[in-house]
Amino acid sequence: MSLNPIAERYTRPDDLAGVELDENSSYFAGGTDMIPLQRAGVTSFVALHDVKSTDLGRAIELVDDHWRIGALATLSDLEDHEGLADDIVAIREAMRQVATRQIRNRATIGGNLLQRPRCSYFRDASIDCWMKGGSDCPANGGLTEHLGVVPTGDATPCVAVQPSDLASVLVMARASVEISSTSGETRHVDVADLLAVPTISRRSLNVLEHGEVIRSIRLPVGTPGSRSTYRKAMDRAVWQFALVGLAATVTLAGDGLVSEASLVAAGVGAVPHALAASVDALIGKPLDATTIEAVATAAVDGLEPLADNRYKLALLQGLVRQVLAD
């Protein structure tokens, strides 16, 4: 049996310090995205550096008032961690709806946040597209059923969505990432800022510079008395990227009114989409049918469907209703 090489050169360093990362090389961890990209010729890195033997770590630890999760923690690690699930159950719920258990056993939390777009035009190496350096977006006038409904303004013609379910949960939970640069400096960036609408000078769904790595994820513990959840809509029961997903957390005060809430949608925009108008309609209100309908109505505030994806608005509203009613 012979394996197809995914790059001309493969290394598995123990220490990132010694790695020279030029434009033609890249890091990878689980490889669940990188290997298909290389095989299909969508990316063509000459050298790939496997970071699984480095000190990035995969531990999930409670440190004071937050969780520290090593970037190499697999999605299965997140799914199986009892303490994390007791605190923020949305993480376990989201993980159980990601791909398949085999893929979750391999995919890492760091890599999950850095996935390339799942847009079919991007994924076909023979099709020219803006994200791959082209001048225009072939989805414009094409098939848009799975693409975005959040307008991106003038920054980009790309209408791909952030594919990660986890990203929406992490934004909901106000998580941040620890990033180390090539020179060894460390900085902390909110996940909400790490993931960004692409621009002409940065054709990517995140702001990580080439050569930087995510070392760990920092996740504040859940607010006492809060409840969280993640709901995902797919065309089959499992193993598809979200048509629309919704991460939600709600805290009810003693008077039965909502004191704190965060609703973040997946599958609708280039970044996890915080439903600000819905949260405004929720805070200070009882969680009754009138409130829920107002929150659902507000959920599509500012959304602009493309030719084939108006259904995503109804779907998002439906998920809002379900999440709040249950």
Which amino acid makes up residue 17?
A
CB 126 within 8 A of CB 236: no
Taking CB under 8 A as the criterion, the residue among 50, 80, 145, 280 binding other proteins is 145
Q: Is 5 in the site for other proteins (CB under 8 A)?
A: yes
Using the contact rule CB under 8 A, the part of the chain among 150-158, 181-189, 214-222, 315-323 near other proteins is: 315-323
Q: Is 121 in the site for other proteins (CB under 8 A)?
A: yes
Q: Is 297 in the site for other proteins (CB under 8 A)?
A: no
Using the contact rule CB under 8 A, the part of the chain among 106-114, 138-146, 214-222, 259-267 near other proteins is: 138-146
Q: Which of residues 234-293 bind other proteins (CB under 8 A)?
A: 234-240, 243
> CA-to-CA distance for 17 and 15, rounded, in angstroms?
5
Q: What is the pattern of x (binds other proteins, CB under 8 A) and - over residues 79-118?
A: ----------------------------------------
Using the contact rule CB under 8 A, the part of the chain among 57-65, 180-188, 219-227, 306-314 near other proteins is: 306-314
Select from 102, 83, 73 the least CA-distant residue to 166.
73
Q: Is 321 in the site for other proteins (CB under 8 A)?
A: yes
> CA-to-CA distance for 273 and 325, rounded, in angstroms?
21
Using the contact rule CB under 8 A, the part of the chain among 153-161, 208-216, 280-288, 318-326 near other proteins is: 318-326
CB 45 within 8 A of CB 38: yes
Q: Is 147 in the site for other proteins (CB under 8 A)?
A: no
Q: Is 305 in the site for other proteins (CB under 8 A)?
A: no
Taking CB under 8 A as the criterion, the residue among 76, 105, 120, 182 binding other proteins is 120
* Triad 238, 140, 310: Cα angle to 5°: 50
Taking CB under 8 A as the criterion, the residue among 178, 190, 280, 308 binding other proteins is 308
Q: Is 318 in the site for other proteins (CB under 8 A)?
A: yes
Q: Is 221 in the site for other proteins (CB under 8 A)?
A: no
Give the residue with the Cβ less far from other proteins, 253 or 325. Answer: 325
Q: How many CA atoms does the CB half-sphere of 30 hold within 13 Å? A: 24
| Least CB distance to other proteins at residue 95 (A) | 16
Q: Is 143 in the site for other proteins (CB under 8 A)?
A: yes
Strands lying side by side in the sheet with 25-28: 9-11, 47-50, 25-28
CB 99 within 8 A of CB 65: no
Binding residues (CB under 8 A) for other proteins: these are 2-5, 41, 120-121, 124, 126-127, 138, 141-143, 145, 233-240, 243, 308-311, 314-315, 317-319, 321-322, 325
